[in-house]
């Protein structure tokens, strides 16, 4: 395939676990090429070829200068909220589309992303996995059918290095369920239980968080009724699914104008 027809992709956090997984996916894709790689100014990987860990040569070097974005069509970012926002501003400046897999944004930060989407196309989702997004669709269906007589609890587990809780995916699950029930998650979510809590509010959606080991990401939603319990689970054994979902988002954005999209748009699940 001619380089003129390839999707030119830049990866943020190039020396991190997810960054390397994304680089490997781009290098293996017939319709994509690695056009840039970003990392922190303090990274010891600066100046190195981002594909060197694969025994390959990409022709670009890991850089901290955001001007590197100018040669790319889309940036994939799975970093931290502060870093993603800095990249967002640079993407607007250079007219680069953005795939955001970062989680932990505040309402104000989400508003900044929405404002930027008036100028560039952005696909943002707390989880890029195709399976997770199909699970979200199933949860919407289940919540509508089990709207009365069932208590709802969401349990998630991640590796010891994850810094935000509950996970963005767990929160998205809660939002999908709350929307299906005609509620606002802000009003019905319960994130902590300790001491004498009293009886459970039947309109609440509970969250429980587990952190430890190298768990990539496990999520289970329980609908607990009288005499029965329905559980809908998704378990990730590898970050490969996140990388492949991100490339599907890259391909989706290629033909889209400015706007804010999510994985339901990418997968046609609306």
- Among 3.40.50.920, 3.40.30.10, 3.40.50.720, 3.30.2130.10, name the CATH number for the domain at 3-124+239-267: 3.40.50.720
List the domain boundaries for the chain: 3-124+239-267, 130-236
219 touches 171 (CB < 8 A): no
What percent of the chain is modeled with pLDDT above 70? 99
Cβ-in-10-Å burial (0-12, 13-18, 19+) of 255 comes to exposed
pLDDT at 199 over 90: yes
The two structure tokens encoding residue 39? 């990392």
71 touches 35 (CB < 8 A): yes
Instruction: Let me know if 161 is a catalytic residue.
Output: no
pLDDT tens string 115-128: 999 999 999 998 89
pLDDT tens string 156-192: 999 999 999 999 999 999 999 999 999 999 999 999 9
- Radius of gyration of the chain measured on its C-alpha atoms: 20
Please list the residues that pair with 33 across neighbouring strands: 8
CA distance 207 to 165: 10
- Counting every residue written for the chain, the total comes to 270
Instruction: Let me know if 186 is a catalytic residue.
Output: no
51 touches 34 (CB < 8 A): yes
**Among residues 157, 185, 150, which one has the least CA distance to residue 171?**
185
CA distance 50 to 55: 10
Farthest CA pair distance, the chain: 66
pLDDT at 211 over 90: yes
**Among residues 67, 61, 63, which one has the least CA distance to residue 34?**
61
Catalytic residue among 7, 87, 158, 219: 158
| Edge-first strand listing for the sheet containing 121-124 | 62-63, 32-38, 7-11, 74-77, 97-100, 121-124, 259-261
Average pLDDT, the chain: 96
33 touches 10 (CB < 8 A): no
239 touches 184 (CB < 8 A): no
CA distance 9 to 77: 11
pLDDT score, position 1: 53
| CATH T-level topology, domain 130-236 | Dihydrodipicolinate Reductase; domain 2 (3.30.360)
């Amino acid at each position: 395939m001619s380089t003129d027809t390839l999707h030119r992709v830049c990866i943020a956090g190039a020396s991190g676990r997810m960054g390397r997984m994304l680089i490997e996916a781009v290098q293996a894709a017939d319709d994509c090429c690695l056009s840039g790689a970003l990392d922190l100014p303090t990274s010891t990987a600066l100046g190195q070829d981002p594909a060197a860990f694969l025994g390959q040569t990409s022709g670009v070097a890991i850089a901290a200068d955001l001007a590197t974005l100018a040669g790319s069509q889309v940036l994939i970012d799975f970093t931290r909220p502060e870093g993603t926002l800095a990249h967002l501003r640079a993407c607007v400046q250079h007219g680069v589309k953005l795939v955001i897999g970062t989680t932990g944004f505040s309402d104000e930060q989400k508003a900044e992303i929405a404002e930027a989407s008036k100028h560039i196309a952005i696909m943002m989702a707390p989880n890029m996995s195709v399976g997770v997004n199909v699970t979200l669709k199933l949860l919407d269906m289940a919540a509508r059918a089990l709207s009365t007589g069932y208590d709802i609890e969401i349990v998630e587990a991640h590796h010891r290095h994850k810094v935000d809780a509950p996970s963005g995916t767990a929160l998205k699950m809660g939002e999908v369920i709350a929307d299906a029930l005609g509620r606002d998650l802000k009003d019905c979510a319960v994130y902590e239980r300790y001491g004498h809590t009293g009886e459970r509010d039947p309109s609440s959606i509970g969250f429980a968080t587990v952190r430890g080991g190298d768990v990539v990401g496990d999520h289970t939603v329980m609908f607990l009724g009288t005499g029965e319990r329905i559980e809908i689970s998704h378990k990730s054994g590898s970050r490969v699914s996140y990388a492949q979902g991100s490339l599907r988002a890259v391909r989706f954005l290629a033909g889209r104008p400015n706007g804010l999209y999510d994985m339901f748009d990418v997968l046609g699940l609306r």
